[in-house]
Copies of this chain bind each other. A is one copy, B any other.
Amino acid sequence: MQLARVIGDVVATRKDPGFDSIPLLLLQPIAADGTSVGRLVVAVDSVGAGVGETVFFVRGKEASFPFHPTEMAADAAIVGIVDQPRIFTD
């Protein structure tokens, strides 16, 4: 999984029916110190994350697991909200 910050969402009227009523959030992947790294990700959300929160998200087919038995063509899902990342060493 990777760390990211929720920075917005995606409004899409026309989309695969599997995404109906599923939140589509915009994520900016981040480093441990909160700086942005890499490109934006559009992710489904199963944990109720909000804009500004730090989350970790999963890539791949596993993205639809939290919605079981619903299946959707998703490759990224927020699976946790980070209280704090703890770095003990680098």
A residues sitting closer than 8 Å to B (CB atoms) are 1-3, 5, 7-16, 18-19, 24, 26, 28-29, 31-32, 36-43, 46-48, 51-52, 56, 58-66, 71-77, 79-90
Q: List 18 A-B contacts (CB under 8 A).
A: A1-B75, A1-B76, A2-B40, A8-B85, A10-B84, A12-B56, A12-B80, A13-B83, A15-B47, A16-B47, A16-B79, A16-B80, A26-B87, A28-B90, A37-B39, A38-B39, A58-B75, A73-B79
A22–chain B nearest beta-carbon distance, Å = 11
Q: Which chain B residues border A37 with CB–CB below 8 Å? A: 39
Greatest chain B CB density within 10 A among A26, A61, A79 is at: A79
